[in-house]
Every structure is written in structure tokens, then in C-alpha cells.
Amino acid sequence: MALPLTCIVTVTLDAFVNTIPPLPPVTVPVGVDLITDVPFPEDGGEVEIDLFPLLGVVDTITVPCPSVTTTSIDVSPTLTADLTITVTEAP
């Protein structure tokens, strides 16, 4: 039986972007780590992260292991969260 592979994940909330047409988007820098160095199981070279406990959004994101990924997640119709997800192989 093979041991399950593990990746270490850090998710950083870089900014919230509020968009209310016709006004220009307003970016509020945040720079807060939502999770830091948390082990996640690797499945086929990727990890799946549930965003509900982090942002209250019923969504998941799948990222490769290892990688540094930036993405934007819609939190509401007018609010977007900009995230940086850092995934490294566990030692």
C-alpha cells in the first residue's frame, strides 16, 4: 500500500475588488494569509481546496502541486477576492 502524497498549501487574500457599474473598480489591498502551511492530500499532481470555510463561497479550486497560482473568486455580484495560492511538496 502506497503512502498518500501530501502538499503544503498557503492561501493569501491579496485584495478585495468592488465593482459597481458605471464606477471604476475599487481595489482594497488586504494581504492576509487565510491558511498557512496546511497539509492537503495530493490527487494526480493536484490539490483541491474548498473555499467555503475561507471565504463563505460554495466553490472549490484545483491547483497543481507544486505551484504558485493567482486567481480571482466572485464573493458576491459586485465583490471579487484576489487570491495567491502557494502549493509545495511536503518534505
**pLDDT digit string, tens, across residues 50-79:** 999 999 999 999 999 999 999 999 999 999
The pair phi, psi for residue 53, each rounded to 5°, is -70, -20
- On whether residue 77 sits in a domain, the answer given is no
- On whether residue 24 sits in a domain, the answer given is yes
- On whether residue 62 sits in a domain, the answer given is no
Number of neighbours of residue 85 by Cβ within 10 angstroms: 19
- On whether residue 51 sits in a domain, the answer given is no
- On whether residue 61 sits in a domain, the answer given is no
Euclidean distance between the first and the last CA atom of the chain, given in angstroms as a whole number? 20
Number of neighbours of residue 46 by Cβ within 10 angstroms: 14
Total number of domains constituting the chain: 1
Residue span of the structural domain in which 5 resides: 1-41
- On whether residue 89 sits in a domain, the answer given is no
The pair phi, psi for residue 52, each rounded to 5°, is -60, -50
- The reported pTM is 0.90
Q: Please compute the mean of the pLDDT values over residues 17-42 and round it to a whole number.
A: 96
- On whether residue 75 sits in a domain, the answer given is no
Residue type, 42: E
- DSSP bridge partners of 89: 7
